[in-house]
Amino acid sequence: MHREGDRKMDDTATTAKGEAESLRHWEGIIESHQADFWKVGEALINIRVNELWREELSGKPYKTWEDYIEKAWGYVTKAKQYMRAAKLHDTLAEAGMSDEDFKRIVPNETQVRKLSRANSLSKEQAKKFVATIAEEGEKADISVAAKTLDEIKPPKVKTPPAKLSPDARKKLLVAALEKVKASFNAKIDDIVDEFDEPGAVDTWLRKFAEAILVKLTR
């Protein structure tokens, strides 16, 4: 008859064995699917999310995820590209894109960034994007895809801040500093009430703060 502690140890051992098998599975995909780079990304995501790189599973003293990536596979930046590719592939696959079309419009992991905004498309927009690429057929490539994406989801245009005159900037600064001054005075009041500091210290602090604020507003 097993004791409770023995059962917990058995469960832990079973879990560790299953995780070790998962690590071998995903590492096998990384080794055998370099051409299908998004599958490498999927494997890396699973290894990272589930922390399968841990020493007790991998048999090697990896200290962090980055340490594992660099020592086991020889890259860090490329791993991020692979994982971005996996996320983009999932988005477009859910919208109906085939692996063949995906590989044609995203020929390698370094091109993923050009279509990264596709991950924020709505389901309807994603389906429209995929349908347009399918209609283009063999003509669809990364340039066509990027143009189509811009038409469906135009990039955000950052509005530059309005240029202020020196007087307007000074007024804004003074107003901001007045708020700081009020907050500072309230803080001093709280400290005085709590610690019963001598009035001389309170007066000195107020005058010091006011002098600093005056200098800043000149």
Half-sphere exposure at residue 12, Cβ-oriented, CA atoms within 13 angstroms: 7
Mean pLDDT of 6-14: 50
- Name the residue with tokens 């349908």: 131
pLDDT surpasses 50 at 218: yes
Element (DSSP H or E) covering residue 2: none
Total number of residues shown for the chain: 218
**pLDDT above 80 (res 18):** yes
Three-class secondary structure of residue 53 per DSSP: coil
Q: What is residue 125's predicted lDDT score, i.e. its pLDDT?
A: 93
Which pLDDT does position 96 carry in this prediction?
94
In the prediction, which pLDDT does 55 show? Answer: 84
Cα–Cα distance for residue pair 40/25, rounded to 1 Å:
12
User: Which pLDDT does position 141 carry in this prediction?
Assistant: 92
State the Cα–Cα distance between residues 183 and 107, nearest whole angstrom.
57
Q: How confident is the model at residue 36 (pLDDT cuts 50, 70, 90)?
A: confident
